[in-house]
Structure 1
Amino acid sequence: MEELADRPVDFKPEEAIGYMHLLPLSEIIATVLGVNYPGTRKVWGIYNPLVKRFGNEYAVLIDASKEEMSQIVDPGIAETIVRVREGKVKVNPGYDGVYGQLVIFKEEEKVKAAPKKPKQRSIADFM
């Protein structure tokens, strides 16, 4: 095959259109929030304002700046969207009925989440 080839292995025509590997915005948000299902109200409560502000999901994933997104959502989510755009995430493939998983940060790169508010106590807690 190599003997018959008329161009090098990594050849790319000048008029070839590039590509971007993108992931669904709802799955990116769900991963950041630690939610297993991207269809939760919590995820869509973040998704909808982003799409409303920038016009559509592709505009958020491709064109929106980190600073603009940080005005609408948590800076950690904006950072993750930028990391997906730049290809700085890893996708662990799925197998045999197990879905693949998005790995956004390596352990040393993880963004510290805001501390959780304490749960409201009930009268039963004091008895």
Structure 2
Amino acid sequence: MYSKELTKGTLQPIILKLLSQHNKMYGYEITQKVKDLTKGKIDISEGALYPILHKLESNNILETEKVYIGKRVRKYYSVTKSGQQVIIDQSNQINDFIKTLSLIFNPKPTVK
């Protein structure tokens, strides 16, 4: 599993990317999907997930829908129309960041 310091800046883009690929998801579902896709290397705690979801909702990037399952309420999150552009921008920024990191960690040998 990666350290919290290493993954902290990527959690929001990860969450947004997942939500853009699915119609709607609830919190626990998001954490499990990330864990499954990364083979356990990225584990998003509830303490990290929900503040991000609430911030995205207050910024109108996400919207919620409450679904009653028996006596329980499940809150589903989905991306708003304005949130779609945020996802595109963050995905581009993450991909550029990965390329930049590869310049440092995987430099191409110089030809002499």
* TM-score relative to the length of structure 1: 0.28
Which of 1 and 2 has greater Rg? Answer: 1
The answer to which structure has the higher helix fraction is 2
The answer to which structure has the higher strand fraction is 2
Name which structure has the greater RCO, CA cutoff 8 Å, separation 6+: 2
